[in-house]
Amino acid sequence: MPLEYAGGGVLKEHAAVRQGVGVFDVSHLGKATVTGPGAADFVNACLSNDLARIEPGRAQYTLCCDEATGGVVDDLIAYLYRPEHVFLVPNAANTAEVVRRLAAAAPAGIEVTDRHREYAILAVQGPGSAAVLAALGLPAGHPYLAFTEARLGDTPVTVCRTGYTGEHGYELVLPWDSALPVWDALLAQDGVRPAGLGARDTLRTEMGYPLHGQDLSLSITPVQARLGWAVGWAKPAFWGRAALLAEKQAGPHRLSWGLEATDRGIPRPHMRVLRGAGPAGGSGDEVVGEVTSGTFSPTRRVGIGLALIGTAAGLGEGDQVQVDVRGRPSTMRLVKPPFVTPSVRS
- How many angstroms from the chain centroid is the CA of residue 36? 28
The model's pTM: 0.95
Q: In 10 A of CB 290, how many CB atoms? A: 17
pLDDT at 343: 85
Kindly write down the DSSP assignment for every residue of 51-113, as one continuous string: GGGS-TTEEEEEEEE-TTT--EEEEEEEEEEETTEEEEE--GGGHHHHHHHHHHHPPTT-EEE
**181-219: pLDDT as tens digits:** 999 999 999 999 999 999 999 999 999 999 999 999 999
Distance, in Å, from the CA atom of 152 to the CA atom of 174, rounded to the nearest integer, reads 10
Q: Does residue 284 have a pLDDT over 60?
A: no
Pairing of strands 85-89, 111-114: unpaired
Across 235-239, average pLDDT: 98
Distance, in Å, from the CA atom of 97 to the CA atom of 113, rounded to the nearest integer, reads 12
Q: Which helix (H) or strand (E) holds 233?
A: none
**3-48: pLDDT as tens digits:** 999 888 999 999 999 999 999 999 999 999 999 999 999 999 999 9
**131-155: pLDDT as tens digits:** 999 999 999 989 999 999 999 999 9
Query: What domains can you pick out in the chain, each with its CATH number?
Result: 10-28+118-207 (3.30.1360.120), 32-114 (3.30.70.1400), 228-335 (2.40.30.110)
Report which of 230, 227, 193, 236 is spatially closest to residue 7, judged by C-alpha positions: 193
3-state SS assignment for residue 251:
coil
